[in-house]
Amino acid sequence: MTMIARKCADIRVDVVDINSARIAAWNSDSLPVFEPGLDALVKGARGKNLFFSTDVEGAIEAADIVFISVNTPTKNYGYGKGSAADLSYVESCARTIAKASKSGKIVVEKSTMPVRTAEVIKTILAASRPDFQVLSNPEFLAEGTAVADLENPDRVLIGGDEDTPEGRAAIDTLASVYARWVSPEKIIKTNLWSSELSKLTANAFLAQRISSINAISALCEATGADVDQVAAAVGADSRVGSRFLKASVGYGGSCFQKDLLNLIYLCEHFNLPEVASYWRGVVDMNAYQKRRFSDMVVESLFRNIRGKRIAIFGFAFKENTNDTRESPAIDICKNFLGENAVLAFYDPKVPEAQIRADLGIEEGDPRAVFCRTPYEAAENSHAIVLLTHWDEFKTLDYAKIKKTMAQPAWIFDGRNCLDHRLLLELGYLVRAIGKGNVS
Ligand code: UDX
C-alpha cells in the first residue's frame, strides 16, 4: 500500500486495522516490521496520501477500491485442521465491507487465499448489493527485499471476472494503478481462479526447489560431493536457472509451509491423492532437513549436549528481516532444548521476547542466554550453530572467537555462508550442509 501511495500522489491510501496498537506503531517513529528501505518510504508518504487508522468502516465507505490483506493462517482446529486455511478473518472482512459500503466497490484479495476464496467474498458481498467486483491480486514480494521487489516486480497478477464487461473494467482499473510504474507487458490478467492458483503454485515451486537441493545435500554428505558445486553446475543450465538453489537448514517464512499445506488440502479436497502426496514430499523433506541438521550437531558433539553451551547465530527465517514465522531455528533449537543444552542466542534484529515466545522459554530459564554480540554468544560455547544468513557473520574475527570457546570448538554452518577452509585452518571442527568434503 505504501508503494501505491508513493507512486500515485493523487491516490489516497488508507490502511485500517481494528488493532489500535498496531496502527499506533505504524503512526510512530518505530514501525512494527523491519524491512530495509520501508521506513523512508512510509515516512515520505505518511500524512500526505498515506494514512493509518482504526476507522475501518469510514475508510471502506470512502474508498473505490478495497484491498483485503488479512491473515490466512493454517487451521489449527476442526475441519481441515493442519492443512486448510483459516478464512475466518477474510469472511469477517467481507461482512464488514458489505455492511459499510453504500456504493459498489472493487474488492481485491491481496492475502494469499486458497483457490475459490473469491467465491466466499463474492457471495457475502452479493447478498448486500449487486455492484461489487471481486479481484485477486496476489503479492509476490519476498521479505528482506520487499521494497525492491515492489518497485520492480517480475510481474503483477490480476484475476477477475473476464466474462463480463464490469469484470474486465474492474481488472483494467486496478491495472491502471500499477501501470503508473510497472510496464504493461508485466501486468498479467487472468480469471479469478487462475490468479489464486498461480500464487499457491509459485510458492510451491520455489519451496520445491529448496527441498530438491536439500535432498541432494544429504546425498552430497554421504558421497563426498559439494552441494554448492552441484547447484552451480545444475543451475548453469538455463532451463533450470541458478537462483533459489541454495541448500540450507530448510525453508521458513510465513508463506511456503502454509501455501503448500493449502495446495495439499485442495488436492485432497478435489480427490487428487497422487498430486497431494507429490507436494507432501516437499513439506516432508523440509522437516527432514531440519531434523537431520540438529541430529548432525548432537552426534558431532559426542551425542551429548546436556548442559553444553551452544551459540545460536541468527534466529530469523532469513536475513534482513526480524520475522521468525516458521523459522527453521525454532524446530532446531527445540530439539537442542529437548537435549537439555544451554543456548546462547544472537540475532541482530529478532528481540529476546520473540525468541522466548517461539520456544516457550520463561524468563529466568537457565537454558537460554540472550547476547548483544555474536562474540558474547560464542564465549564458553562448545559450538556455533549458524542458522540465518546475516552478512555480519561472514566477517567476524573467528580466530579471536575460537580462543574464547570450549575446545574442541565446532562450527555448524546451516547456510553454507562461511569460509570453511579458513575455519579449518584456524583449528575449528566444521560441519556444513551438503559438504561431503568438509569435516
Ligand atoms: C516467499 C516468496 O519468495 C515470495 O515470492 C512470496 O511472495 C512469499 O514467500 P519469503 O518467504 O519472504 O518469500 O522469502 P524467500 O526469500 O522466498 O525465502 C523463504 C525461505 O527459503 C527462507 O527461509 C530462506 O532462507 C529459504 N531459502 C531461500 C533457501 O533455503 N534457499 C534458497 O535458495 C532460497
Q: Give the per-residue pLDDT at 405.
A: 98
Look at the chain and count its residues.
439
pLDDT band at 438 (very low <50, low <70, confident <90, very high): confident
Separation between Cα atoms, residue 383 and residue 308, nearest integer Å: 9
Q: What confidence tens digit (pLDDT) does each residue in 235-266 have?
A: 999 999 999 999 999 999 999 999 999 999 99
Separation between Cα atoms, residue 39 and residue 206, nearest integer Å: 28
Supply the residues annotated as catalytic: 139, 199, 255
- For residue 327, which atom of ligand 1 is closest to its CA? 23
Q: Residue 139: is its pLDDT beyond 80?
A: yes
- For residue 323, which atom of ligand 1 is closest to its CA? 12
Q: How far is the CA of 271 from the centre of ligand 1 (A)?
A: 29
Q: Is residue 245 a contact partner of residue 267, using CB atoms and an 8 Å limit?
A: no
Q: Give the per-residue pLDDT at 202.
A: 97
Distance, CA of 310 to chain centre: 26
Give the closest residue to 383 by CA, choosing from 316, 302, 327: 302
The residue whose C-alpha atom lies closest to atom 14 belonging to ligand 1 is 142
Separation between Cα atoms, residue 219 and residue 138, nearest integer Å: 36
C-alpha cell recorded at residue 94: 467481507
Task: Using DSSP, state whether 169 is helix, strand or coil.
Answer: helix
The residue whose C-alpha atom lies closest to atom 26 belonging to ligand 1 is 251
pLDDT band at 160 (very low <50, low <70, confident <90, very high): very high
* Angle between helix 273-300 and helix 328-338 axes, rounded to 10 deg: 50
Mean pLDDT, all residues of the chain: 95
Q: How far is the CA of 329 from the centre of ligand 1 (A)?
A: 15
Q: How far is the CA of 245 from the centre of ligand 1 (A)?
A: 11
- For residue 207, which atom of ligand 1 is closest to its CA? 21
Cβ neighbours of residue 77 closer than 8 Å, sequence gap 6 or more: none
The residue whose C-alpha atom lies closest to atom 31 belonging to ligand 1 is 246
Q: What confidence tens digit (pLDDT) does each residue in 362-404 have?
A: 999 999 999 999 999 999 999 999 999 999 999 999 999 999 9
Q: Please report which residue ranges of 270-346 form alpha helices under DSSP H.
A: 273-300, 328-338
- For residue 326, which atom of ligand 1 is closest to its CA? 23
* Binding pocket residue ranges, ligand 1, CB within 6 Å: 139-143, 203, 206, 210, 244-246, 248, 251-253, 255-256, 317-318
Q: How far is the CA of 292 from the centre of ligand 1 (A)?
A: 20
Q: Please report which residue ranges of 301-327 form alpha helices under DSSP H.
A: none
Q: Is residue 405 a contact partner of residue 393, using CB atoms and an 8 Å limit?
A: no
Q: How far is the CA of 257 from the centre of ligand 1 (A)?
A: 11
Count of beta carbons in the 10 Å neighbourhood of residue 229? 13
* C-alpha separations of 102 from 58, 62, 120, 128, 132 in Å: 11, 9, 20, 10, 11
Separation between Cα atoms, residue 253 and residue 172, nearest integer Å: 32
Q: Is residue 387 a contact partner of residue 315, using CB atoms and an 8 Å limit?
A: yes
Phi/psi of residue 412, nearest 5 degrees: -115, 110
**Burial class of residue 28, CB neighbours in 10 A (0-12, 13-18, 19+):** exposed
Separation between Cα atoms, residue 146 and residue 2, nearest integer Å: 11
C-alpha cell recorded at residue 313: 547465530
Separation between Cα atoms, residue 354 and residue 324, nearest integer Å: 8
Q: Residue 292: is its pLDDT beyond 90?
A: yes
Q: Is residue 346 a contact partner of residue 376, using CB atoms and an 8 Å limit?
A: yes
* C-alpha separations of 150 from 18, 91, 120, 398, 416 in Å: 26, 27, 28, 37, 28
Q: Give the per-residue pLDDT at 79.
A: 86
Q: How far is the CA of 244 from the centre of ligand 1 (A)?
A: 8
Q: What confidence tens digit (pLDDT) does each residue in 167-206 have?
A: 999 999 999 999 999 999 999 999 999 999 999 999 999 9
Proportion of the chain above pLDDT 70, given as a percent: 100
Q: Give the per-residue pLDDT at 301.
A: 97
The residue whose C-alpha atom lies closest to atom 5 belonging to ligand 1 is 140
The residue whose C-alpha atom lies closest to atom 1 belonging to ligand 1 is 142
**Best of 38, 199, 210 for a ligand 1 pocket test (most atoms within 8 Å of beta carbon):** 210
Separation between Cα atoms, residue 166 and residue 205, nearest integer Å: 33
Q: Average pLDDT of 341-361?
A: 97
**Best of 260, 317, 433 for a ligand 1 pocket test (most atoms within 8 Å of beta carbon):** 317
Q: Give the per-residue pLDDT at 5.
A: 97
Torsion angle, CA of 70/67/145/413, rounded to 10 degrees?
Answer: 20
Positive or negative CA dihedral for 354, 359, 363, 368? negative
Q: How far is the CA of 256 from the centre of ligand 1 (A)?
A: 8
- For residue 249, which atom of ligand 1 is closest to its CA? 30
Q: Average pLDDT of 24-35?
A: 94
The residues with which 370 forms a beta bridge, in sequence order, are 345
C-alpha cell recorded at residue 314: 541468527
Q: Give the per-residue pLDDT at 439.
A: 61
